[in-house]
Structures are given as structure tokens and as C-alpha cells.
Amino acid sequence: MLHFADSLTFSGRKVVAAWAALPLPASSGSSLPDVLSAHQDVPWKLLSSCKEQRFSSCFAQSVVLRGIGQEKGPRSPLHSCESPEQVLQQYLHSHFPGAFSTCHVLQQPCHTQPPFPQFFSPLLTTRGFLQDRAQGSSSAGVESVPVLAALQSCPGLLGLLSGLCRELRPRRWGRPCAAGLEHDDVQEALEELRTLAQCYEPGAGADGSEDEGDSD
């Protein structure tokens, strides 16, 4: 886990944003290239407490896709890839060129049997794939879903960390010492937080430390 965290948080960065598409919108029988080609924008949603927006760039990311197979059918550049990992890697490169990306593709879907909450659309099959019409009240519920999830080190975290600095200013605390904190310690921690936030400014660390390219 330590090596995994280090691979995403170089150049002084220590925070990542979480994203997920649960389920990943896909029709039953669709191949991985078909599913990804159908989305001009990456279909995941932000799970972290950043301002909701579409981050168009990132410094590094680790992406996992589960529950979608790859079938041959040369209709797009993605279909020419030799493995599911190459399909996902090429897709990520098209959306985040120059970012350091690692990806993993697992055939097993994410299981959602009870006590997993059944908050899914009635348009999903029991395996989490989209269908034209709902199955009705006789549906046994969604037992598994395909998932696309990611952890990203991205410029969008600048707003989150800067906002945290503003919220933690000592004058907002009243008397930090009452909580067992010395004023100098609070100021030092805030300065470290400001320095961390600056690491997420667009172009930060562009001295060559990020030109690692995409991983295989």
C-alpha cells in the first residue's frame, strides 16, 4: 500500500480524489471497447468532497475496471488492442494525455447482494447491465454490477485544500489552546497545508519529475 500511495503522490503531493461509476453504464453482451467508445467523457462521478466538476487533467491516477469482457470486432482503434488492460490504458491516455496512469481490469464484477443497498435503477438486470425496459416488481434485485473506479492526483484538489486552509484559520477557532493546541503549532500546520495545496496548481512539478509517461 505504501508503494501504491507513493506512485500517485510524487512531487510533494499527498492527497488523491476518488471517482467511481457504479454501475458502469453498459448493455448486456457489450465488449469493453464498445462500452468505453460509447462515452466521450469518462463516465465516473466524484466521490471526494471536492467541488463537483469534470477534471480535465490529472498528474497521476490508478484505475480499476471490473465486470466487462473484451470481444474481438475491429470497429474502432480500441478494438485493435491485444488485452483489456491495453484497451483501458489507451482510453485513459486519450482523456488524460501525459498523465502517469496504472490500470487493472478484472473479469469479476462487484457483488451487490444484501446487505448491499439496492439503490439501483429498475432498468438494470440482475447482473447490473442496462436494458430497454424495467423487469418489474418480480425482479430479484441487482446481484452484481460492472464498476469503473479511480484514485486521481489532480489539479482539482487545489480548491479543496485551499478551502480547508481558509476554514482552519485560527481566528475561526476562537481559542485553539483550549483544545490542547499551541498557536505556533496551528500556524505551522496551516503553512504545511498551504504548501501542499500549491503542489496541485496546474503545471506544478513540471520540471521533468512528471514526465514518466503512461505505465504499461
Domain ranges of the chain: 1-153, 158-199
- Model's pTM, two decimal places? 0.80
Q: How many CA atoms are closer than 13 Å to the CA of 109, on its beta-carbon side?
A: 21
- 109 contacts 145 by C-beta, under 8 angstroms: yes
pLDDT digits 0-9 by tens, 186-208: 788 889 999 999 999 887 654 44
**What values do phi and psi take at 51, rounded to 5?**
-65, 130
pLDDT digits 0-9 by tens, 149-195: 999 998 889 988 998 888 877 665 555 555 566 777 878 888 999 99
Alpha-carbon gap, residue 142 to 128, rounded angstroms: 6
